[in-house]
Amino acid sequence: MTDEQIMIMVKNGRTEALAQLYERYKRPLFSYFNRLTSDFELSKDLTQNVFERILRYRHTFQDKMSLRSWLFQVARNVRADHYRFQKLPMEEDVEVSTLEIPQTSDKKDYSLQMAKVEKALQLLPVNYREVILLSWFEKMSYTEIAESLEISEGNVKVRMHRAVSKLRTILKKKQHEQVQ
């Protein structure tokens, strides 16, 4: 059964079916929040809030929608609401290929490279980090990302290009600092 079919069941009152979606998406959502916030406990809370909100607003899901896009749109709104209600400053959004990570068969070397990329991601503005996280880690298409972020596909491409450029610059700077 597809995610969309399950969500239609939830929408039509079979709320116990939400457990299937929870099992499928709890890890990707937690990972998304954790990479955005770098706060383990907050990420757990936000993940839980997404599923509470899905239950509360299940009637807004459109049968033609991609559940994955809608889910990450809800996740983004949950995160924004958290910062708004806590009166905490959220990182400023800036107007808005792939990064070449050295390939290696050595798992330890690969892990080190990925750790560097993860740290560099934290230095990006949130709107750039979001497109990278959704594309690289959640394997979403630009169309799905555009739906989730409620922006045009062209804007997703622009943000991705700028994000990758900034990430390359950060990684080169870090590499240069290590050499000195």
pLDDT tens figures, 1-29: 999 999 999 999 999 999 999 999 999 99
Put simply, whether the predicted model's pTM sits higher than 0.75 gets the answer no
Residue 105 pLDDT grade (very low, low, confident, very high; cuts 50, 70, 90):
low
- CA dist., res. 34 & res. 46, Å (int): 10
If you search the block for the tokens 């394997």, which residue do you land on?
A: 139
Q: What are phi and psi of 24, to 5 degrees?
A: -75, -30
Write down all domains in the chain, each with its CATH number in brackets.
3-85 (1.10.1740.10), 107-179 (1.10.10.10)
Arithmetic mean of pLDDT, 124-145:
91
- Taking CA atoms, 87 is separated from 26, 49, 81, 90, in Å, by 26, 18, 9, 9
Residue 89 pLDDT > 70: no
Mean pLDDT of 130-141: 91
